[in-house]
Amino acid sequence: MVSERLNQTQHKWACVQFIAEVSLLANCKPSDLKLALSLIADLANSENTTDEDENIFYQAE
């Protein structure tokens, strides 16, 4: 289970790196770069959506 999650994490960050490198090398238009950055943000945000991570946070009183 841990190795599976690690593989998923490595895959997501490889995707983030690929999107970032292609965006920079392609000299994208601002709108395309904004799309690439939103894809990166979505991938990064999806990293912390497991039930285990939800237990870390609690509502402040």
Output the pLDDT for position 47. 65
**Is 36 within 8 Å of 18 (Cβ atoms)?**
no
- Residue 51's φ and ψ, nearest 5 degrees, are -65, -35
Output the pLDDT for position 1. 61
3-61, pLDDT tens digit by residue? Answer: 777 788 888 888 888 888 888 888 878 888 888 888 888 887 776 655 565 666 677 77
Output the pLDDT for position 52. 60
Q: Give me the DSSP letters along the chain.
A: -HHHHHHHHHHHHHHHHHHHHHHHHTT--HHHHHHHHHHHHHHHHHTT-SHHHHTT-----
CA 41, CA 4: separation in Å to the nearest integer? 22
